[in-house]
Amino acid sequence: MSAKFNIDIHKTAVIVIDMQNVFCEPGQPIYVEETTGIIPKIQELTGTARQAMIPVIYLRMAVRGDGSDTGRLKDMIPSVDETLKKGSHHVEIIKELSPMEGDVIVDKPFFGGFTGTDLDTILRGRGIDTLIICGTLTNVCCETTARQAVEREYKVIFLSDANATRERPDMGWGPVSAEDIQKVTLTTLASLFCQVSPTSQIVHEIQEACTTSSSTH
Amino acid sequence: MSAKFNIDIHKTAVIVIDMQNVFCEPGQPIYVEETTGIIPKIQELTGTARQAMIPVIYLRMAVRGDGSDTGRLKDMIPSVDETLKKGSHHVEIIKELSPMEGDVIVDKPFFGGFTGTDLDTILRGRGIDTLIICGTLTNVCCETTARQAVEREYKVIFLSDANATRERPDMGWGPVSAEDIQKVTLTTLASLFCQVSPTSQIVHEIQEACTTSSSTH
Protein backbone atom coordinates (compact mmCIF):
# COMPACT_ATOMS: atom_id res chain seq x y z
CA MET A 1 0.00 0.00 0.00
CA SER A 2 0.98 3.63 -0.34
CA ALA A 3 1.06 5.98 2.65
CA LYS A 4 -1.00 9.17 2.94
CA PHE A 5 0.01 11.72 5.53
CA ASN A 6 -1.87 14.80 6.68
CA ILE A 7 0.11 18.02 6.44
CA ASP A 8 0.34 19.89 9.73
CA ILE A 9 2.03 23.17 8.76
CA HIS A 10 3.60 23.43 12.22
CA LYS A 11 5.35 20.05 11.88
CA THR A 12 6.34 20.02 8.22
CA ALA A 13 9.49 21.10 6.36
CA VAL A 14 10.34 21.32 2.66
CA ILE A 15 13.71 19.77 1.78
CA VAL A 16 15.20 21.01 -1.52
CA ILE A 17 18.05 18.72 -2.50
CA ASP A 18 21.15 19.65 -4.52
CA MET A 19 19.60 22.26 -6.85
CA GLN A 20 23.13 23.55 -7.34
CA ASN A 21 24.89 25.07 -10.33
CA VAL A 22 27.02 21.94 -10.79
CA PHE A 23 23.93 19.83 -11.49
CA CYS A 24 21.50 22.42 -12.91
CA GLU A 25 23.53 24.87 -15.02
CA PRO A 26 24.20 23.91 -18.66
CA GLY A 27 27.90 23.37 -19.30
CA GLN A 28 28.75 22.48 -15.71
CA PRO A 29 30.73 19.26 -15.13
CA ILE A 30 27.87 17.11 -13.78
CA TYR A 31 24.96 18.82 -15.55
CA VAL A 32 21.59 17.02 -15.38
CA GLU A 33 19.40 18.35 -18.16
CA GLU A 34 16.24 16.99 -16.58
CA THR A 35 16.50 19.48 -13.69
CA THR A 36 15.13 22.21 -15.98
CA GLY A 37 11.65 20.76 -15.75
CA ILE A 38 11.44 20.71 -11.96
CA ILE A 39 12.54 24.29 -11.28
CA PRO A 40 9.04 25.84 -11.70
CA LYS A 41 7.54 23.12 -9.47
CA ILE A 42 10.06 23.81 -6.72
CA GLN A 43 9.50 27.56 -7.07
CA GLU A 44 5.78 27.05 -6.57
CA LEU A 45 6.31 24.68 -3.64
CA THR A 46 8.83 26.86 -1.78
CA GLY A 47 6.73 29.98 -2.38
CA THR A 48 3.67 28.27 -0.92
CA ALA A 49 5.69 26.87 1.98
CA ARG A 50 7.12 30.27 2.94
CA GLN A 51 3.62 31.81 2.94
CA ALA A 52 2.54 28.99 5.28
CA MET A 53 5.60 29.56 7.52
CA ILE A 54 6.80 26.06 6.66
CA PRO A 55 10.62 25.96 6.87
CA VAL A 56 12.44 25.62 3.54
CA ILE A 57 15.69 23.71 3.97
CA TYR A 58 18.23 23.52 1.14
CA LEU A 59 20.72 20.69 1.05
CA ARG A 60 23.91 21.23 -0.91
CA MET A 61 26.46 18.59 -1.77
CA ALA A 62 29.78 20.21 -0.86
CA VAL A 63 33.12 18.82 0.27
CA ARG A 64 36.21 20.36 1.86
CA GLY A 65 38.25 20.08 -1.32
CA ASP A 66 41.42 18.85 0.39
CA GLY A 67 40.42 15.19 0.13
CA SER A 68 39.99 14.78 3.87
CA ASP A 69 36.25 14.06 3.75
CA THR A 70 35.98 12.10 0.50
CA GLY A 71 36.62 8.37 0.88
CA ARG A 72 34.00 6.15 -0.68
CA LEU A 73 32.55 9.15 -2.55
CA LYS A 74 35.87 9.67 -4.33
CA ASP A 75 35.96 5.97 -5.27
CA MET A 76 32.89 6.67 -7.38
CA ILE A 77 33.48 10.31 -8.42
CA PRO A 78 37.26 10.80 -8.70
CA SER A 79 36.92 14.52 -9.52
CA VAL A 80 34.75 15.27 -6.48
CA ASP A 81 37.32 17.37 -4.59
CA GLU A 82 37.25 19.84 -7.49
CA THR A 83 33.69 19.61 -8.77
CA LEU A 84 31.98 19.87 -5.37
CA LYS A 85 34.42 22.08 -3.47
CA LYS A 86 32.87 24.35 -0.84
CA GLY A 87 32.93 28.02 -1.74
CA SER A 88 33.01 27.42 -5.48
CA HIS A 89 30.38 28.57 -7.95
CA HIS A 90 29.61 24.88 -8.60
CA VAL A 91 28.08 24.24 -5.20
CA GLU A 92 25.92 27.37 -4.95
CA ILE A 93 22.13 27.04 -5.25
CA ILE A 94 20.91 28.11 -8.71
CA LYS A 95 19.71 31.69 -8.91
CA GLU A 96 16.17 30.63 -9.91
CA LEU A 97 15.82 29.05 -6.46
CA SER A 98 17.91 31.44 -4.38
CA PRO A 99 17.38 30.91 -0.67
CA MET A 100 15.49 33.69 1.07
CA GLU A 101 15.60 35.21 4.55
CA GLY A 102 14.67 32.50 7.05
CA ASP A 103 15.54 29.56 4.80
CA VAL A 104 18.16 27.12 6.05
CA ILE A 105 21.14 25.78 4.09
CA VAL A 106 22.79 22.49 5.07
CA ASP A 107 26.00 21.33 3.39
CA LYS A 108 26.40 17.57 3.21
CA PRO A 109 29.57 15.64 2.34
CA PHE A 110 27.77 12.67 0.78
CA PHE A 111 24.45 11.78 -0.82
CA GLY A 112 22.24 11.46 2.26
CA GLY A 113 21.03 14.62 3.96
CA PHE A 114 21.59 13.06 7.39
CA THR A 115 25.17 11.87 6.75
CA GLY A 116 27.67 14.04 8.61
CA THR A 117 25.24 16.99 8.99
CA ASP A 118 23.12 18.72 11.62
CA LEU A 119 19.89 18.19 9.64
CA ASP A 120 18.33 15.91 12.26
CA THR A 121 19.03 18.47 15.01
CA ILE A 122 17.55 21.29 12.93
CA LEU A 123 14.37 19.30 12.28
CA ARG A 124 13.92 17.99 15.82
CA GLY A 125 14.57 21.40 17.31
CA ARG A 126 11.58 22.72 15.40
CA GLY A 127 9.36 19.75 16.16
CA ILE A 128 9.26 18.69 12.49
CA ASP A 129 7.94 15.18 11.82
CA THR A 130 6.99 15.43 8.13
CA LEU A 131 9.34 16.14 5.22
CA ILE A 132 8.41 17.12 1.67
CA ILE A 133 11.33 16.06 -0.55
CA CYS A 134 12.25 17.48 -3.96
CA GLY A 135 15.41 18.06 -6.01
CA THR A 136 18.00 15.96 -7.78
CA LEU A 137 19.02 13.20 -8.43
CA THR A 138 15.81 11.33 -7.73
CA ASN A 139 17.53 7.96 -7.23
CA VAL A 140 20.72 9.16 -5.55
CA CYS A 141 20.63 12.06 -3.07
CA CYS A 142 16.84 12.39 -2.92
CA GLU A 143 16.18 8.67 -2.50
CA THR A 144 19.02 8.21 0.01
CA THR A 145 17.73 11.14 2.07
CA ALA A 146 14.18 9.79 1.89
CA ARG A 147 15.27 6.33 3.08
CA GLN A 148 17.33 7.88 5.88
CA ALA A 149 14.40 10.04 6.99
CA VAL A 150 11.92 7.15 6.99
CA GLU A 151 14.24 4.98 9.10
CA ARG A 152 14.51 7.94 11.52
CA GLU A 153 10.69 7.78 11.75
CA TYR A 154 9.95 10.96 9.78
CA LYS A 155 6.84 10.92 7.59
CA VAL A 156 8.11 11.50 4.06
CA ILE A 157 6.20 12.96 1.12
CA PHE A 158 8.34 12.47 -2.00
CA LEU A 159 7.30 14.57 -4.98
CA SER A 160 6.82 12.56 -8.15
CA ASP A 161 7.29 15.51 -10.52
CA ALA A 162 9.73 17.73 -8.61
CA ASN A 163 12.57 15.21 -8.40
CA ALA A 164 14.77 14.78 -11.48
CA THR A 165 17.23 12.16 -12.62
CA ARG A 166 19.27 11.32 -15.69
CA GLU A 167 19.89 8.30 -17.90
CA ARG A 168 22.74 5.87 -17.26
CA PRO A 169 24.95 4.05 -19.75
CA ASP A 170 25.22 0.25 -19.79
CA MET A 171 26.93 -0.75 -16.53
CA GLY A 172 26.51 -4.45 -17.29
CA TRP A 173 22.75 -4.83 -17.48
CA GLY A 174 21.94 -2.60 -20.47
CA PRO A 175 21.48 1.19 -20.70
CA VAL A 176 18.73 2.71 -18.57
CA SER A 177 16.63 5.76 -19.48
CA ALA A 178 15.86 8.57 -17.03
CA GLU A 179 12.18 7.63 -17.35
CA ASP A 180 12.82 4.03 -16.28
CA ILE A 181 14.92 5.11 -13.30
CA GLN A 182 12.22 7.60 -12.26
CA LYS A 183 9.49 4.97 -12.59
CA VAL A 184 11.32 2.29 -10.59
CA THR A 185 12.43 4.72 -7.88
CA LEU A 186 8.97 6.22 -7.39
CA THR A 187 7.38 2.74 -7.38
CA THR A 188 9.86 1.38 -4.81
CA LEU A 189 9.41 4.40 -2.55
CA ALA A 190 5.61 4.38 -2.85
CA SER A 191 5.47 0.60 -2.24
CA LEU A 192 7.50 0.42 0.94
CA PHE A 193 8.90 3.72 2.16
CA CYS A 194 6.68 6.77 1.94
CA GLN A 195 3.98 8.85 0.26
CA VAL A 196 4.71 9.81 -3.35
CA SER A 197 2.55 12.62 -4.76
CA PRO A 198 2.56 15.32 -7.43
CA THR A 199 3.53 18.88 -6.47
CA SER A 200 0.13 20.39 -7.30
CA GLN A 201 -1.58 18.11 -4.77
CA ILE A 202 0.83 18.99 -1.98
CA VAL A 203 0.69 22.73 -2.75
CA HIS A 204 -3.09 22.49 -2.54
CA GLU A 205 -2.92 20.58 0.76
CA ILE A 206 -0.59 23.18 2.27
CA GLN A 207 -2.98 25.96 1.25
CA GLU A 208 -5.93 24.02 2.70
CA ALA A 209 -4.02 23.39 5.92
CA CYS A 210 -3.32 27.15 6.21
CA THR A 211 -6.98 27.99 5.82
CA THR A 212 -7.96 25.45 8.47
CA SER A 213 -5.17 26.58 10.77
CA SER A 214 -6.00 30.28 10.51
CA SER A 215 -9.74 29.69 11.04
CA THR A 216 -9.22 27.66 14.22
CA HIS A 217 -6.47 29.67 15.93
CA MET B 1 32.65 4.74 -13.06
CA SER B 2 32.25 1.51 -11.15
CA ALA B 3 34.35 0.71 -8.10
CA LYS B 4 36.65 -2.31 -7.81
CA PHE B 5 37.83 -3.30 -4.35
CA ASN B 6 40.48 -5.84 -3.41
CA ILE B 7 39.30 -8.51 -1.00
CA ASP B 8 41.42 -8.74 2.15
CA ILE B 9 40.01 -11.80 3.94
CA HIS B 10 40.93 -10.29 7.33
CA LYS B 11 38.85 -7.15 6.72
CA THR B 12 35.84 -8.55 4.85
CA ALA B 13 32.43 -9.83 5.99
CA VAL B 14 29.56 -11.47 4.13
CA ILE B 15 26.15 -9.94 4.91
CA VAL B 16 23.19 -12.23 4.14
CA ILE B 17 20.01 -10.17 4.23
CA ASP B 18 16.51 -11.39 5.15
CA MET B 19 16.71 -14.94 3.79
CA GLN B 20 13.86 -15.77 6.16
CA ASN B 21 10.92 -18.13 5.88
CA VAL B 22 8.48 -15.22 5.53
CA PHE B 23 10.13 -14.13 2.27
CA CYS B 24 11.58 -17.41 0.96
CA GLU B 25 9.10 -20.20 1.83
CA PRO B 26 6.23 -20.79 -0.61
CA GLY B 27 2.85 -20.04 0.97
CA GLN B 28 4.24 -17.54 3.50
CA PRO B 29 2.53 -14.12 3.72
CA ILE B 30 5.25 -12.07 1.97
CA TYR B 31 6.72 -14.81 -0.27
CA VAL B 32 9.16 -13.65 -2.96
CA GLU B 33 9.38 -16.37 -5.59
CA GLU B 34 12.61 -14.96 -7.04
CA THR B 35 14.53 -15.90 -3.87
CA THR B 36 14.65 -19.53 -5.07
CA GLY B 37 17.27 -18.67 -7.65
CA ILE B 38 19.72 -17.02 -5.26
CA ILE B 39 19.83 -19.76 -2.59
CA PRO B 40 22.55 -21.86 -4.34
CA LYS B 41 24.65 -18.72 -4.92
CA ILE B 42 24.46 -17.75 -1.25
CA GLN B 43 25.27 -21.34 -0.21
CA GLU B 44 28.40 -21.23 -2.37
CA LEU B 45 29.40 -17.79 -1.10
CA THR B 46 28.90 -18.54 2.61
CA GLY B 47 30.67 -21.90 2.27
CA THR B 48 33.67 -20.23 0.65
CA ALA B 49 33.64 -17.42 3.21
CA ARG B 50 33.65 -19.83 6.19
CA GLN B 51 36.60 -21.72 4.73
CA ALA B 52 38.43 -18.39 4.43
CA MET B 53 37.49 -17.46 8.03
CA ILE B 54 35.48 -14.51 6.67
CA PRO B 55 32.61 -13.74 9.08
CA VAL B 56 29.12 -14.59 7.83
CA ILE B 57 26.55 -12.20 9.27
CA TYR B 58 22.83 -12.86 8.83
CA LEU B 59 20.39 -9.99 9.07
CA ARG B 60 16.79 -10.81 9.93
CA MET B 61 13.88 -8.43 9.75
CA ALA B 62 12.10 -8.97 13.07
CA VAL B 63 9.95 -6.73 15.27
CA ARG B 64 8.76 -6.93 18.87
CA GLY B 65 5.19 -7.75 17.87
CA ASP B 66 3.56 -5.42 20.39
CA GLY B 67 3.61 -2.43 18.03
CA SER B 68 6.15 -0.53 20.12
CA ASP B 69 8.87 -0.51 17.44
CA THR B 70 6.80 -0.20 14.27
CA GLY B 71 5.95 3.38 13.33
CA ARG B 72 6.68 4.27 9.74
CA LEU B 73 7.16 0.59 8.88
CA LYS B 74 3.58 -0.13 9.95
CA ASP B 75 2.35 2.76 7.79
CA MET B 76 3.57 0.76 4.80
CA ILE B 77 3.04 -2.83 6.03
CA PRO B 78 0.02 -2.78 8.36
CA SER B 79 0.36 -6.50 9.19
CA VAL B 80 4.02 -6.21 10.23
CA ASP B 81 3.50 -6.88 13.95
CA GLU B 82 2.19 -10.33 13.03
CA THR B 83 4.14 -11.23 9.90
CA LEU B 84 7.58 -10.26 11.25
CA LYS B 85 7.17 -11.05 14.96
CA LYS B 86 10.35 -12.16 16.74
CA GLY B 87 10.34 -15.80 17.76
CA SER B 88 7.89 -16.87 15.05
CA HIS B 89 8.63 -19.37 12.29
CA HIS B 90 8.25 -16.48 9.82
CA VAL B 91 11.41 -14.70 10.88
CA GLU B 92 13.76 -17.70 11.09
CA ILE B 93 16.47 -18.11 8.44
CA ILE B 94 15.48 -20.75 5.84
CA LYS B 95 16.86 -24.22 6.51
CA GLU B 96 18.85 -24.26 3.25
CA LEU B 97 20.96 -21.41 4.66
CA SER B 98 20.96 -22.33 8.35
CA PRO B 99 23.56 -20.33 10.28
CA MET B 100 26.53 -22.38 11.49
CA GLU B 101 28.80 -22.21 14.52
CA GLY B 102 30.59 -18.86 14.47
CA ASP B 103 28.10 -17.07 12.24
CA VAL B 104 26.43 -13.95 13.62
CA ILE B 105 22.70 -13.15 13.54
CA VAL B 106 21.49 -9.55 13.78
CA ASP B 107 17.78 -8.73 14.10
CA LYS B 108 16.77 -5.40 12.62
CA PRO B 109 13.47 -3.56 13.13
CA PHE B 110 13.46 -1.85 9.73
CA PHE B 111 14.94 -2.29 6.25
CA GLY B 112 18.48 -1.03 6.82
CA GLY B 113 20.95 -3.29 8.61
CA PHE B 114 22.36 -0.33 10.56
CA THR B 115 19.00 1.01 11.79
CA GLY B 116 18.53 0.27 15.50
CA THR B 117 21.09 -2.58 15.53
CA ASP B 118 24.62 -3.32 16.75
CA LEU B 119 25.84 -4.19 13.23
CA ASP B 120 28.30 -1.29 13.07
CA THR B 121 29.83 -2.27 16.43
CA ILE B 122 30.15 -5.91 15.33
CA LEU B 123 31.93 -4.90 12.12
CA ARG B 124 34.23 -2.29 13.65
CA GLY B 125 35.16 -4.60 16.51
CA ARG B 126 36.54 -7.06 13.98
CA GLY B 127 38.26 -4.44 11.87
CA ILE B 128 35.96 -5.07 8.92
CA ASP B 129 36.03 -2.44 6.15
CA THR B 130 34.55 -4.40 3.21
CA LEU B 131 31.06 -5.90 2.99
CA ILE B 132 29.79 -8.45 0.48
CA ILE B 133 26.00 -8.01 0.32
CA CYS B 134 23.44 -10.60 -0.80
CA GLY B 135 19.83 -11.51 0.00
CA THR B 136 16.40 -9.99 -0.52
CA LEU B 137 14.77 -7.66 -1.52
CA THR B 138 17.41 -6.19 -3.81
CA ASN B 139 15.85 -2.71 -3.88
CA VAL B 140 14.57 -2.56 -0.30
CA CYS B 141 16.60 -4.09 2.55
CA CYS B 142 19.70 -4.91 0.49
CA GLU B 143 19.88 -1.51 -1.22
CA THR B 144 19.12 0.42 1.98
CA THR B 145 21.84 -1.52 3.84
CA ALA B 146 24.29 -0.93 0.98
CA ARG B 147 23.61 2.81 0.94
CA GLN B 148 23.95 2.97 4.74
CA ALA B 149 27.24 1.07 4.63
CA VAL B 150 28.73 3.24 1.89
CA GLU B 151 27.86 6.44 3.77
CA ARG B 152 29.57 4.90 6.83
CA GLU B 153 32.67 4.53 4.60
CA TYR B 154 32.56 0.74 4.18
CA LYS B 155 33.63 -0.65 0.83
CA VAL B 156 30.59 -2.48 -0.51
CA ILE B 157 30.52 -5.33 -3.01
CA PHE B 158 26.89 -5.91 -4.01
CA LEU B 159 26.23 -9.23 -5.74
CA SER B 160 24.36 -8.86 -9.02
CA ASP B 161 23.01 -12.44 -9.04
CA ALA B 162 22.62 -13.20 -5.33
CA ASN B 163 20.15 -10.45 -4.55
CA ALA B 164 16.49 -11.04 -5.45
CA THR B 165 13.48 -8.80 -5.85
CA ARG B 166 9.87 -9.06 -7.04
CA GLU B 167 7.59 -7.24 -9.43
CA ARG B 168 5.37 -4.35 -8.32
CA PRO B 169 1.85 -3.45 -9.42
CA ASP B 170 1.03 -0.05 -10.90
CA MET B 171 1.51 2.51 -8.13
CA GLY B 172 0.79 5.40 -10.48
CA TRP B 173 3.57 5.08 -13.05
CA GLY B 174 2.74 1.68 -14.59
CA PRO B 175 3.54 -1.85 -13.38
CA VAL B 176 7.22 -2.73 -12.98
CA SER B 177 8.77 -6.15 -13.55
CA ALA B 178 11.30 -7.73 -11.18
CA GLU B 179 13.82 -7.60 -14.03
CA ASP B 180 13.41 -3.85 -14.47
CA ILE B 181 13.74 -3.20 -10.74
CA GLN B 182 16.86 -5.38 -10.61
CA LYS B 183 18.39 -3.60 -13.62
CA VAL B 184 17.75 -0.08 -12.32
CA THR B 185 18.92 -0.91 -8.80
CA LEU B 186 22.15 -2.56 -9.92
CA THR B 187 22.86 0.29 -12.35
CA THR B 188 22.26 2.99 -9.73
CA LEU B 189 24.45 1.20 -7.19
CA ALA B 190 27.23 0.50 -9.71
CA SER B 191 27.11 4.10 -11.01
CA LEU B 192 27.44 5.94 -7.73
CA PHE B 193 27.60 3.75 -4.64
CA CYS B 194 29.69 0.59 -4.83
CA GLN B 195 31.10 -2.39 -6.71
CA VAL B 196 28.48 -4.69 -8.26
CA SER B 197 29.75 -8.14 -9.31
CA PRO B 198 28.54 -11.69 -9.94
CA THR B 199 28.93 -14.28 -7.16
CA SER B 200 31.31 -16.50 -9.14
CA GLN B 201 33.82 -13.67 -9.47
CA ILE B 202 33.78 -12.87 -5.76
CA VAL B 203 34.00 -16.56 -4.75
CA HIS B 204 37.05 -16.84 -7.02
CA GLU B 205 38.62 -13.70 -5.53
CA ILE B 206 38.13 -15.00 -1.98
CA GLN B 207 39.80 -18.28 -2.93
CA GLU B 208 42.67 -16.40 -4.58
CA ALA B 209 43.06 -14.16 -1.53
CA CYS B 210 43.26 -17.27 0.69
CA THR B 211 46.01 -18.77 -1.44
CA THR B 212 48.00 -15.52 -1.36
CA SER B 213 47.40 -15.11 2.36
CA SER B 214 48.49 -18.66 3.26
CA SER B 215 51.58 -18.50 1.07
CA THR B 216 52.82 -15.26 2.63
CA HIS B 217 52.08 -15.96 6.32
Q: Calculate how close chain B gets to A35, using CA atoms only, in Å.
A: 18
Give the distance from CA B27 to its chain's centroid.
22
User: pLDDT tens, B24-76?
Assistant: 999 998 999 999 999 999 999 999 999 999 999 999 999 999 999 999 999 99
Whether the Cβ atoms of residue A99 and residue A105 lie closer than 8 Å to each other? yes
* Confidence grade of residue A212 (pLDDT, cut at 50, 70, 90): confident
Give the mean model confidence (pLDDT) for residues B133-153: 98
Which one from A41, A81, A108, A194 is the annotated catalytic residue? A108
User: Which chain B residues are Cβ-neighbours of A181 within 8 angstroms?
Assistant: 184, 187-188
pLDDT(B1) > 60:
no
- CB-based burial of residue B147 (10 Å sphere; 0-12 exposed, 13-18 middle, 19+ buried)? buried
Which one from B24, B81, B103, B141 is the annotated catalytic residue? B141
Instruction: Please give the single-letter amino acid code of residue B204.
Output: H
The DSSP bridge pattern shows strands B155-164 and A130-136 to be unpaired
> What was the pLDDT predicted at B34?
97
* Confidence grade of residue B22 (pLDDT, cut at 50, 70, 90): very high
Measured between CB atoms, which of A75, A139, A184 is closest to B176? A184
Domain boundaries, chain B: 12-215
> What was the pLDDT predicted at B192?
97
Complex ipTM: 0.96
Q: What is the 3-state secondary structure (H, E, C) of chain B?
A: CCCCCCCCCCCEEEEEECCEHHHHCCCCCCCCHHHHHHHHHHHHHHHHHHHCCCCEEEEEECECCCCCCCCHHHHHCCCHHHHCECCCHHHCECHHHCCCCCCEEEEECCCCCCCCCCHHHHHHHCCCCEEEEEEECHHHHHHHHHHHHHHCCCEEEEEEEEEECCCECCCCCCCECHHHHHHHHHHHHHHHCCEEECHHHHHHHHHHHHHHHHHHC
Give the mean model confidence (pLDDT) for residues A172-176: 97
Closest CA to A39 of A179, A163, A141, A139: A163
Angle CA(A206)–CA(A208)–CA(A209) in degrees, nearest 5? Answer: 65
Q: Please check whether residue A113 touches B, CB under 8 A.
A: no
User: pLDDT tens, A16-74?
Assistant: 999 999 999 999 989 999 999 999 999 999 999 999 999 999 999 999 999 999 999 99
Spatial CB neighbours of B111, under 8 Å, sequence gap ≥ 6 = A147, A151, A192, B61, B73, B140, B141, B144, B145
Whether the Cβ atoms of residue A3 and residue A155 lie closer than 8 Å to each other? yes
User: pLDDT tens, A79-105?
Assistant: 999 999 999 999 999 999 999 999 999
Measured between CB atoms, which of B1, B112, B190 is closest to A172? B190
pLDDT(B2) > 90:
no
What is the distance between the alpha carbons of residues A106 and B214, in angstroms, rounded to a whole number?
A: 49
Instruction: Output the pTM of the full model.
Output: 0.97
User: pLDDT tens, A129-158?
Assistant: 999 999 999 999 999 999 999 999 999 999
Q: Please check whether residue B146 touches A, CB under 8 A.
A: no
Per 3-state DSSP, chain A is made up of helix, strand and coil in percentages (nearest 5) of 40, 20, 40
Give the distance from CA A100 to its chain's centroid.
17
Q: Please check whether residue A150 touches B, CB under 8 A.
A: yes
Whether the Cβ atoms of residue B32 and residue B166 lie closer than 8 Å to each other? yes
CATH number for domain A12-215, candidates 3.40.50.850, 3.30.420.40, 3.40.50.300, 3.30.420.10? 3.40.50.850
> What was the pLDDT predicted at B217?
54
Selected for mutation to probe chain B from A152, A157, A173, A194 (highest B CB count within 10 Å) is A173
What is the distance between the alpha carbons of residues B191 and B31, in angstroms, rounded to a whole number?
A: 30
* Peptide bond before residue B84 is cis, with ω within 30 degrees of 0: no
User: pLDDT tens, B80-92?
Assistant: 999 999 999 999 9
> What was the pLDDT predicted at A2?
80
